[in-house]
Amino acid sequence: MNPPDHPSILLTKESDSPRYREWIRRHNPHVRVGDLSAFPDEVHDQLFSRAHGIIFTGGEDIHPGLYGKPEALPRCFPPDSVRDERELHWLRTAEESRMAILGICRGMQLINIARGGSLVVHLPEDHPSDVPHALPDRDAEHVVRIEQDSLLHGAVRGKIATVNSWHHQAIDRIAKGLRVIARAEDGVVEAVEGIDPKKFLLGVQWHPERMRQRSLPTHIAQSFLAEVHAVRDRAYHTMSLSLFQS
């Protein structure tokens, strides 16, 4: 039997920027990275069958009706309901396939909504503070406090890290099956992880693919890729056993 192929990762939407794949490939130049949104629907199942990890990327606001606040739509940037529904379906598929899952910005919020959580609709009005979560023309920066017993533990010395920030929404009610592992100084949720130790599920509100600081985005990429490799190896082992038993 041939050795396993290089691991494969799916992006939910890359938009016009290659930053996500460049960030991942800086840490493993051999990994295969595909943008799901660039492929027709009829091949998505095939892509999932060959993938070992998925990154839910940043982007538009999620429709507030999906977390029980439809009246808040006028306070949101225009959502893409087609994208919302597709990505909720992809998240279910990824969890059923036991893929490594990473959510970035909107992606973390989607994971929380999919499990029954909700969002703060507009931070400047609903959670005013002196912490800059967004600037008009560039990323803001602020400090986050990281829980020691978490997937982010060891990424920085101590519990404090500086992250970039460009969002006007945040997690409000945390969903079942998730726990908060980082917060900003004003209490805004900045990172979550799944409570099942057998599955890699990490969400961050910041954008590690475009951070100037290196230790935290490197830790996230390496942790995610380590699990992607583990998923690939388990799939290969399962296939090997089935061939011998047939």
Chain-centre distance of CA 58, in angstroms? Answer: 8
What's the one-letter identity of residue 156?
A: V
Closest by alpha carbon to 54, among 114, 3, 95? 95
Task: Report the Cα 23 to chain-centroid distance in Å.
Answer: 14
Residue with token string 């995610």: 224
The whole-angstrom separation of Cα 15 and Cα 17 is 6
Rounded to a whole number of angstroms, the CA Rg of the chain reads 18
Measured distance CA(31)–CA(55) in Å, rounded: 13
Q: How far apart are CA 8 and CA 5, in angstroms?
A: 9
237 CB burial (10 A radius; 0-12, 13-18, 19+): exposed
Catalytic residues: 105, 207, 209
Kindly state the tokens that stand for 224: 């995610």
In the chain, the largest separation of any two C-alpha atoms, in whole Å, equals: 64
